[in-house]
Amino acid sequence: MKPKAYIASKVSSEVKEYLDQHCECEYWQGAEAITGAQLAERLADAEGLLVSGNAISERLLGSAPKLRVVSNVSVGYNNNDLNAMRSRGIIGTHTPYVLDDTVADLTLALMLAAARRVTELHNLVRSGGWQRGIGPSLFGVDVHHAKLGIIGMGRIGEMVAKRAKFGFDMDVSYYNRNRKPEAEQKLGLSYLPLNELLAQSDFVVLLAPLTPETKRMIGAEQFTLMKPTAAFINVSRGENVDEAALVEALRSGTIRAAALDVYEKEPVSVDNPLLQLDNVVTLPHIGSATAATRNRMAMLAAENLVEALYGREPKYVIPELKA
């Protein structure tokens, strides 16, 4: 008998075919993303759950007495109550690595958009405000040969560094919990303490994971250290930044611009002051959002789910839940 699984995330026909070969699956059919309450109503018999973005809480797990594995279609898993999962012996998996190139591409797109004021000038044209050539007040800054500081030198950080170094001849430095001598040699990077990196960089890219140590690691003190001409780019997690301090830094001219794919609270409220600032590029958390990458993530999540349900070691178990 095939194990029963609930598939709470939209998947392609390819992924569905794979899942149906190995599991007795029930799929969420709603036009909108499934809510926590709707999910809880559907887990009574589920042994496996494939999910994207929903909180895996003690309360939700209480409605799933047979659940053995939660497979996340994401790299991050800060929405999972790991203690509750651990106490119930539930395996948790995620999908690292397959999205690294895609997120690195987006990071460069945000840098370029902030540097050349792409969204601000796009809005100028669309509103009819472009009557003649723009003046210095709307000039951007160069990316090529500028100084880039990367906070968090994991795989995505290395891919961003490679694009910046060899595509734009940028001078790249990084700050990380541990130094990466091989990356330094391969990519020509320099390691700097955080405060020095902030002070020297024209562009600061935050790629650190969300942990108790990194939560709000960038705030008023850090923005004050940055150049007034600098741009701040966040593609990590919104909670790593004191958002109120970022707003103040942008309003006061402490820094020149920001480009964001993540926020303290998502989705962003229409009254969030970041949305009122011309010197901010805002995206709706689309780091991995290409069709090809999302399909690869879903397939990897499906493979993780099946491996766990059949008593085998999934490829990517959440590190904190490894035996």
What would the pLDDT profile of 299-320 be if each residue is shown by its tens digit? 999 999 999 999 999 999 999 9
Percent of the chain with pLDDT over 70: 100
Tally of CB atoms within 10 A around 197: 23
Regarding whether 258 and 225 lie in a shared domain, the answer is yes
Q: What is the pLDDT of residue 322?
A: 86
Q: Which residues pair with 206 in a beta bridge?
A: 151, 234
Q: 38 with 143, same domain? A: no
Average pLDDT over residues 17-38: 96
pLDDT at 240: 97
pLDDT of residue 107: 98
Residues 173 and 128 in one domain: yes
Model pLDDT, residue 78:
86
For residues 69 and 143, membership in a common domain is answered with no
CATH of the domain at 68: 3.40.50.720
108 and 48, same structural domain?
Answer: no
Provide the mean pLDDT of the chain. Answer: 96
Residues 23 and 140 in one domain: no
pLDDT at 172: 98
141-156 in b/e form (b: 16+ CB < 10 A) is: bebeebbbbbbbbbbb
Per-residue pLDDT, 132? 87
Q: How many domains does one find in the chain?
A: 2
Residue-level pLDDT at 251: 98
Domain that holds residue 196: 100-282
Cβ contact 259:233 at 8 Å: yes
Is a pLDDT exceeding 80 seen at residue 83? yes
Gap between the Cα atoms of 261 and 141, Å rounded: 21
For residue 55, pLDDT over 80 is answered with yes
| Whole-number Å distance between alpha carbons of 307 and 317 | 11
pLDDT average, residue stretch 117-129: 96
Asked if residue 245 and residue 217 are part of one domain, the reply reads yes
- Looking at per-residue confidence, does 323 or 178 come out higher? 178
Instruction: Let me know if 237 is a catalytic residue.
Output: yes
The pLDDT, as a whole number, for residue 317 is 97
Asked if 144 and 222 sit in the same domain, the reply is yes
Between 76 and 176, name the one with better pLDDT: 176
Whether residue 266 lies in the annotated active site:
yes
pLDDT band at 76 (very low <50, low <70, confident <90, very high): confident
Q: How many CB atoms lie within 10 A of CB 66?
A: 12
Over residues 228-247, the pLDDT tens digits come to 999 999 999 999 999 999 99
Give 263-302 pLDDT, tens digit per residue: 999 999 999 999 999 999 999 999 999 999 999 999 999 9
94 is catalytic: no
**For residue 53, what pLDDT is reported?**
86
Indicate if the pLDDT at residue 323 is higher than 80.
no
Task: Identify the active-site residue in 17, 41, 266, 313.
Answer: 266
Identify whether residues 194 and 254 lie together within a single domain: yes
| Marked catalytic residue, from 237, 256, 294, 296 | 237
Token couple for 79: 């929405």
pLDDT band at 8 (very low <50, low <70, confident <90, very high): very high
What proportion of the chain, given as a percentage, has pLDDT over 90? 96
Nearest to 52 by CA among 300, 259, 239, 261: 300
Residues 90 and 138 occupy one common structural domain: no
Q: Are 218 and 239 contained in the same domain? A: yes
The predicted-structure confidence for 162-210, as pLDDT tens digits, reads as follows 999 999 999 999 999 999 999 999 999 999 999 999 999 999 999 999 8
Q: Are 231 and 257 in contact (CB under 8 A)?
A: yes
* Tens-place pLDDT, residues 251-266: 999 999 999 999 999 9
Cβ neighbours for 133, distance < 8 A, ≥ 6 positions apart: none
Torsions phi, psi of 147, nearest 5?
-95, 125
Tokens of 95: 């999908």
Please report the DSSP string for 158-184 in residue order. Answer: HHHHHHHHHHH--EEEEE-SS--HHHH
Looking at the fold, whether 305 and 167 belong to one and the same domain comes out as no
